[in-house]
Amino acid sequence: MKINDIDVSVIQKAKNSYPQISVIIRCKNESKSIAKCIEAILNQQINTQFEIIVIDSGSTDDTVKIAQKYNVTIYSIPSSQFQFGSSINLGIKLAQAEYCVFVSAHAIPANSKWLSSLVKPMQEDKNIAGTFGRQLYHMNSDFIQKRCIDETFGKKQKLYTISSGSFKQNLKNISFSNASSCIRRDVALKIKFSDVIASEDREWAYRVMKKGYRILYVSDSLIYHVHNETPNQWYRRIYINSLALYQFAGIRINLIEIAPLAFWKIIKDMKYCRNNNISIDAIVLKKSIKYEYLYALAHYKGSHK
């Protein structure tokens, strides 16, 4: 069948009766984590019925086969038709419930309150269009990943609102992450996600807040979500995010800003290590210099393509 111009195949239909929450997992080649993700969701403590929908975009490993062991609905789409925004729109369309919770297949709920913590604020306040949870790192994550996660996902809950101005002007007050989020279905059906190459979550959050809705960061909804990346993977992710921000918001850095940006990030790494009792040796310093130079270069290159 065709939905929103995407070819959708039904692999498996779950047995559900009138769910109030739809949990949507987007995945491709996630055989190592899909079972952990589904089981952590099934173990949630919540007095509300929910369904689990898996949207697979052309896995070539055992992701689908593993998911079929559970009472979940599974859809498959061609990998060539996958885009971040359109896959969210598809999940919204396929969902039966008003509250649509999105989670990456490699993101694992950290406790049994993850789901209820995401949904409850939206049940209590109809002006909240979306909530997103706090992401945690694993103990074996490197210091750069730990610093990035701690800086982005703090311990305090925060409500985001804007009234006027461009995305660029409101940059510091726009935050949202579909690695672990809850979206109000009726809002998302009216204000759809855009098919930008990255940061589709923040771009959508900006547009819904411009319409008067609010976004809530829920710090007690906890999920493990870490990118343990090689230098090339790190560069590629930063490059794509920078390109996206330039394409839809006109945000870019200049050539003369590369060195100061890299230096500033290295200083932040060293302060984080010092404050968290991480020994600063030649290996740590070398890694910080390498990764943060790539970070700054990727920001420049992505915003100047």
Closest CA to 131 of 198, 48, 208: 208
Span 95-118, mean pLDDT?
A: 96
Angle, helix 200-210 to helix 231-249, in steps of 10 degrees:
30
pLDDT digits (tens, 9 = 90+) for 213-237: 999 999 999 999 987 789 999 999 9
Q: Give pTM, 2 decimals.
A: 0.94
Q: How far apart are the first and last CA of the chain?
A: 37
DSSP 170-237: TGGG----TTEEEEEHHHHHHSPPP--SS-HHHHHHHHHHHTT-EEEEEEEEEEE------HHHHHHH
- Report the pLDDT value the prediction gives residue 17, as an integer from 0 to 100: 75
Average confidence (pLDDT) over 170-182: 94
* pLDDT at residue 63 greater than cutoff 90: yes
Cα 228 from Cα 208, distance rounded (Å): 32
If you ran DSSP here, which 8-state letter would residue 48 be given?
S
Q: What is the pLDDT of residue 68?
A: 97
Check residue 113 and give its pLDDT: 97
Q: What is the mean pLDDT of residues 30-57?
A: 96
Residue type at position 143? F
